[in-house]
Structure 1
């Protein structure tokens, strides 16, 4: 595996770990929603994840990351269409999609 791709995969893994470290232990949506610093930190890490996936695909367009285009699209929406991103959308991504991505990335790193 290209060393740059490995570094970007590790960036994704680190960002996922940081997101989990920022969340309330009980994973309570209302608590998350009221914590501006946590929301901004989570969004920033989602941006990093999307940018790392974009770089990976630019280096190797057939790299096997499920939902890569959606991940990049989410990054673009957070950055460019920030006023149309709701807390509910971010929360759904973090609670439903991030665990799947984490498992996928860990498997790719091990290859």
Structure 2
């Protein structure tokens, strides 16, 4: 049985803004933390995982346009993270989430913010 790809959103700029908003929230929640502090804070880990679930959902809704516009980021992994958080949460490694927060999230946010700066806040389509 072949997997049917979800239809891309009719509001790609809104979905990109959702990713930026939740990514910025994650960075705010973890500001001035190191891995040890992150591991010590269950509330921060839970909050970040919830924001990552939203990032994942927005990535799913973007469909292939995300890869076309921003090919340097691992969109399949972003889309898959939501499933992992919902279904395989016991297997999620906090260190992997931390590495994503510190290494992958900042450049993604910068690239999306730069792209979105070309469009008015109320514009939803490219």
Q: What is the TM-score of this pair, normalised by structure 2?
A: 0.76
Separation in structure 1 between the aligned mates of residue 79 and residue 67 of structure 2, nearest angstrom: 15
Contiguous gaps of at least 5 residues in structure 1: none
2:63 to 57, 66, 70: 57
Superposed CA deviations along residues 60-84 of structure 1, whole A, max 9, x for unmatched, are 4764233111111122211211110
State whether structure 2 residue 60 is matched by structure 1 residue 47: no
- Structure 1 position 90, deviation (Å): 0.6
Q: Does structure 2 conserve the Cα–Cα contact (< 8 Å) formed by 1:24 and 1:31?
A: no
Superposed CA deviations along residues 15-70 of structure 1, whole A, max 9, x for unmatched, are 01110111142x31111111111000000111100100110117x47642331111
Structure number having the greater helix percentage? 1
Q: Does structure 2 conserve the Cα–Cα contact (< 8 Å) formed by 1:24 and 1:32?
A: no
Q: Of the two, which has the highest radius of gyration?
A: 2
Q: CA RMSD in A?
A: 2.0
Count of aligned pairs between the two proteins: 108
Contiguous gaps of at least 5 residues in structure 2: 1-8, 119-126
State whether structure 2 residue 38 is matched by structure 1 residue 38: no
Task: Using CA pairs under 8 Å that are at least 6 residues apart, name the structure with larger relative contact order, 1 or 2.
Answer: 2
Q: What is the TM-score of this pair, normalised by structure 1?
A: 0.86
Separation in structure 1 between the aligned mates of residue 100 and residue 67 of structure 2, nearest angstrom: 24
- Structure 1 position 4, deviation (Å): 1.2
